[in-house]
A and B are shown apart, each in its own frame.
Chain A
Amino acid sequence: MTGMTMVHADRVSKSFGTNTVLRSISLSVDAGEVLCIVGPSGSGKSTFLRCINHLERVDAGRLSVEGQLVGYREKGGRLYELKPKEAAFQRREIGMVFQRFNLFPHLTAVENIIQAPMRVKRMSKAKATARAVELMERVGLGDKGDYYPAHLSGGQQQRVAIARALAMDPKLMLFDEPTSALDPELVGEVLDVMKGLAKSGMTMIVVTHEMGFAREVADSLVFMDGGVVVESGDPRQVLTDPQHERTKAFLSKVL
């Protein structure tokens, strides 16, 4: 698996109206790699993440996952926007974890997990549930399957959200500031699950403020500011010896 390019961004740009949030982002993530994206808020890192599974539309450049263009189809030198159904099909292999968990509050933890396998993959309820129970074990919540999100702590909710994303057997996992909405003492349990996932060989792109996690787990690190990639490379290298002024200024504030 390793060596194969999972995500490839080639001069990707994106703007909301007149506000340009991504300017010519180029980067590449190999299968099995963990990439951490750090940077101040408003730097465009979350938007970039959301472009990867086409929650946002890319305006310029080319963004592809496993060699397949995201959100568009190229035919005869022209790009055609994908139909919602086709875009949904692309998302099947990309899991996403949100800052605010976004669990479905009217469903129990297990019911949250089985929705997509049942609705999208047409898996039987029994099979999906068995898998959900297994995933709940994996994120350390084996006994909480029947709990509604409101009765779980933030850290537990986020772990359920990870299990929910994993239920679709994704090849790529996107994490959008997964620990930013958590109480400090709950951050660790979520990071532990993510570390385990990284160790199992999952390709992960993590937008985060957890520099310790980036240093320990990431294979590469990207520092973004003002919609551009300012600096990228080995996380230990970038974090201890940043080359760019802006990176230095940012790191001096967060470290």
Chain B
Amino acid sequence: MTDPEQARSATPPDSGEEGEAIKAVPLRHPWRALIAVVLVLALAVFILDAAQREDYGWADVGKYIFDKRISQAALVTLQLTVYSMLIAIVLGLLLAIMRLSPNPVVKSVAWLYLWIFRGTPVYVQLVFWGIVALIYPVLTLGVPFMTPWVTLPNDVFHNLFITAVIGLALNEAAYMSEIVRAGLLSVDEGQEEASKALAMSWGQTMRYIVVPQAMKIIIPPTGNEVISMLKTTSLVAAIPLSIDLYGVSRGISAVTFTPVPLLIVASIWYLLFTSVLMVGQHFIEKRFSRGTGRRKEDKPTTGGDPAAFTGSHAGNGPTTAALTNAPAGNEAGGKG
């Protein structure tokens, strides 16, 4: 809008003295204060009310929160989460690489997997895995439609815990593959090219160059997936497995007829775990945003584009990471 010539003359270069400090009356925000007061009051009323309400059964909450059965069930929930996530991440990486394969058949198979496992509810899938042993009572190895060489009873699915892990992992792998794929695709092509030009093999390029950079994009959504998985484990009731946190809480309340306190007990445990996971995620994100944050020791003296340094709290979302990833971001950094 303004003529650049004019704008320059408007600010005389180094006039020597600074302009008068501004002492203006700050803008008032009456609505902000009002809304805050209303919210605090509403919350206080709710808490006071809840503390006195019989149905919450706070005494029972206190009684069961550290119940041995509950804490053991919490451990089961944790195990379900960890095992299924680990399998899902490995399988997801495999599927992501398959999706990026130049082989159209390999690519299609990965897509088909994604289509089925992401397109049907996890609850339905868990019910299916619960009865799969009835559909396939024996596992065979051999030439199709001929007498099999090896026949094994399908025992795996008789163990409901393993069934739950398999069911949750296979479903989650579909989501993880998309996350990993997005991460791999976010790495600039020039990185692979530079690595190739340095005579590094495909495997070395992936391991040392592409995947470490993709991690920055992969970790935040994976953290969300872990948290989401922790809660999804409550659906193993569909198998039916009832030794997890929610299953056991329900089991106890079915006997004591106190459903609400036990729901609260289970929720507290879930919240505890998700809170711990959130803290862990924060530190892992920090670790993988190396090179986008501030320099290790001394801070940059000349301020480049501040956007280039938002990486110090990068990992808030792909947008920040993508920003710092762009080649332009490299130059925007301070001149050292």
Contacts and interface: CB of A to CB of B under 8 A. Distances in A.
B295 A85 contact: no
Interface string A42-85: 00000000000101000000000000000000000000000011
Contact of A153 (B216, B311, B325, B335): B335
Contact of B330 (A88, A92, A96, A103): A103
Contacts of A104: 191, 194-195, 209, 213
Given A84-B201, A92-B199, A120-B198, A148 B291 contact: yes
B208 interface: yes
Interface in B285-336: 288, 290-292, 295-297, 300, 308, 311, 324-325, 327, 329-331, 333-336
B291 A150 contact: yes
A108 B335 CA distance: 16
B204 interface: yes
Interface residues of B, number: 39
Contacts of B204: 119-120
Main secondary structure of the interface of B (DSSP, over half): helix
A153 B197 contact: no
B212 interface: yes
A115 B205 CA distance: 10
Contacts, number: 117
B202 interface: yes
Q: Which residue of A120, A147, A151, A168 has the most chain B CB atoms within 10 A of its CB atom?
A: A151
Given A102-B191, A119-B208, A149 B330 contact: yes
Interface in A142-162: 144, 146-154, 156-157, 161
B196 interface: yes
Given A151-B295, A152-B336, A102 B199 contact: no
Interface residues on A, range: 35 or more
Given A105-B325, A149-B291, A153-B336, A91 B198 contact: yes
B336 A88 contact: no
A130 interface: no
Nearest to A90: B199
A123 interface: no
A149 B290 CA distance: 11
Interface of A: 53, 55, 84-85, 88-89, 91-92, 94-96, 98, 100-108, 115-116, 119-120, 144, 146-154, 156-157, 161, 164-165, 168, 181, 183
Interface of B: 188, 190-191, 193-202, 204, 208-209, 212-213, 216, 288, 290-292, 295-297, 300, 308, 311, 324-325, 327, 329-331, 333-336
24 contacts: A88-B200, A91-B196, A92-B199, A94-B197, A98-B190, A100-B190, A102-B188, A103-B194, A104-B191, A105-B213, A106-B290, A115-B195, A115-B208, A115-B209, A147-B336, A148-B291, A148-B295, A149-B291, A150-B291, A151-B300, A151-B336, A152-B336, A168-B199, A181-B331
Q: What 8 pairs across the A-B complex have the smallest Cβ distances?
A: A102-B194, A116-B198, A102-B190, A96-B197, A148-B291, A91-B199, A92-B199, A150-B333
